[in-house]
Structure 1
């Protein structure tokens, strides 16, 4: 038999039990409502609210909910733009119906435009870029267009206008003389640049001021000597690098941020075809490269490389891929280089620079994570801005494994 104390405790225990049940039901209703809002509202960022959630393990719950949401949400449509678009911009952002209907290769009855997703963030600029006379001469907006590219609006949409033709255009110099000749001024429209002639660009290398690839247009200066010798340290010679592979097996490749194309010129002399990417930072770099009889490609360092996987024998980058690039963006770029290189292909990392404290803590582990094997590896001090900055160079030949 229970005591009188037991009888007195029973009502209190029942009251507490009912209160606990009520609390659990209330929490269940709140959680259900939160889940409902989560799934119907794609704009909610749960990281903004995570600390306020009354769950015992909010971080795990949020991660699982986000994973589930990514599977259940409908992918955004490429043509999901505001309805008030008009003119050329409306035409280039909307999907266009295929005249013959469903295409099995595309898997759709519409053709979607090639347009950088970030263009949507810069609609007013894009509308300005797409304002022109159809069939007429395109506006002189090279700097404006390139700025859009560097802000992530890449690729830009096509336009139905013709770029201005250089005044009194002359034929390029014949090969092989063109390889080491400064092109005629009449091969360039100079509107976008502070210099209005190649002579000005050549002299700029000897003047004060900071410019991108300042002395690249002076083919009789330092450009004439690049990659022609190997000092056994940071400066690798092309012949020494090519000698690491069986003769004739390095045939095609890419030079990222290749300035005026001298690396490609040196490789062409050795029977290797190199595509050079370059931006036009106050100079007609792409026009200059093409006038030398080389292949230029107007791409930023953030652009996915327009090559299929396992196709290139060599990828080279001097200075451009370095610590000035955000770490995550750089790692994406290095993985993309790995993607396009064939097994056994070389990634020639030429004078990569960074702070000494980050070389072993950040960048060496990054290259290891990507999966390259070290074939040649040299480090040395970068002293042009002063020893107190503790900056270092890394030059390396990294190989994609054969399997």
Structure 2
């Protein structure tokens, strides 16, 4: 953590990520300047920026990153490819089972009452982009685990929040209309199998939601035996009300590992 005050901040993204996963603050360097990307160019204007790949010069490529450009990152399936069909199709179709659309979720509340929210572990910010198209401002909580997700989200004209899995969410009590959390809740965002940390996180989601606010659990991954033994009772214990609930076996390798998905639209009670 040594650095020269007034100089350039050293880059230790791998160490920073390990600290944040353990519940610690990012490296406390308060009197240094982060390196600026060479050849930096202005981002595309809104709304074009929502679906435009940012220039490679928008970020400093750290040694922690396996690539040195966004084309390489996109090829690794990290949710950083805005040119393909996959990202542009996310959350646009409701299959009546695990895949919910943003329009279906928003229809659970009176029109216009879902205004601000949070996407936990939101990667490249596509959920926030989809919600912005519908007039909803969503902050994307992400870390730079293996890719410059924060810079990527910001380049799209969206707001990245640099916060780790064990941190208390930096929002006032009872303020958000919606919180979205996907499979990242059990991967980079949460220590796998840590039920105590999970319960802490769920209670914090409940805290920041306003009465009547929505918690959208999206393709949450878990061992099949734990649905009724652990997670369903935990969500009930936290206090969420079920609006929609779908569980199904994870198709890609889930049969051997007995992994399942859970998608649910939950609500914080009004009283």
Work out whether 1:392 is the aligned partner of 2:260: yes
Query: Runs of at least 4 residues of structure 1 off by over 6 A?
Result: none
Work out whether 1:287 is the aligned partner of 2:151: yes
Instruction: Tell me, in whole angstroms, the C-alpha distance in 2 between the residues paired with 1:307 and 1:400.
Output: 16
Deviation by residue 1:215-253 (Cα, 9 ceiling, x = unmatched): x01113311110001000000000011011100000000
Q: Return the TM-score normalized by structure 1.
A: 0.64
Deviation by residue 1:174-233 (Cα, 9 ceiling, x = unmatched): 11100000100111101231200111112223xxxxxxxx3x011133111100010000
Shift of 1:144: 2.4
- Hey, what does 1:117 align to over in structure 2? none
Deviation by residue 1:43-88 (Cα, 9 ceiling, x = unmatched): xxxxxxxxxxxxxxxxxxxxxxxxxxxxxxxxxxxxxxxxxxxxxx
- Hey, what does 2:83 align to over in structure 1? 220
- Of residues 361, 366, 382, the one that matches 2:234 is 366
Larger relative contact order, structure 1 or 2 (CA cutoff 8 Å, min sep 6): 2
Instruction: Tell me, in whole angstroms, the C-alpha distance in 1 between the residues paired with 2:177 and 2:262.
Output: 21
Q: How many residues align?
A: 265
Work out whether 1:159 is the aligned partner of 2:42: no
State the SS of the aligned residue for 2:201.
Answer: helix
State the SS of the aligned residue for 2:185.
Answer: coil
- Of residues 234, 252, 258, the one that matches 2:116 is 252
CA contact (8 A) 1:137 1:163 kept: yes
State the SS of the aligned residue for 2:264.
Answer: strand
Which structure 2 residue ranges, 5 or more long, are not aligned?
A: none
When Rg is computed on C-alpha atoms for both structures, the one with the higher figure is 1
Which structure 1 residue ranges, 5 or more long, are not aligned?
A: 1-128, 206-213
Shift of 1:172: 0.8
Instruction: Tell me, in whole angstroms, the C-alpha distance in 1 between the residues paired with 2:93 and 2:153.
Output: 23
- Hey, what does 1:139 align to over in structure 2? 10
- Hey, what does 1:114 align to over in structure 2? none
Return closer, same or farther for 1:314/1:265 CA change in 2, 3 Å cut-off: same
State the SS of the aligned residue for 1:275.
Answer: strand
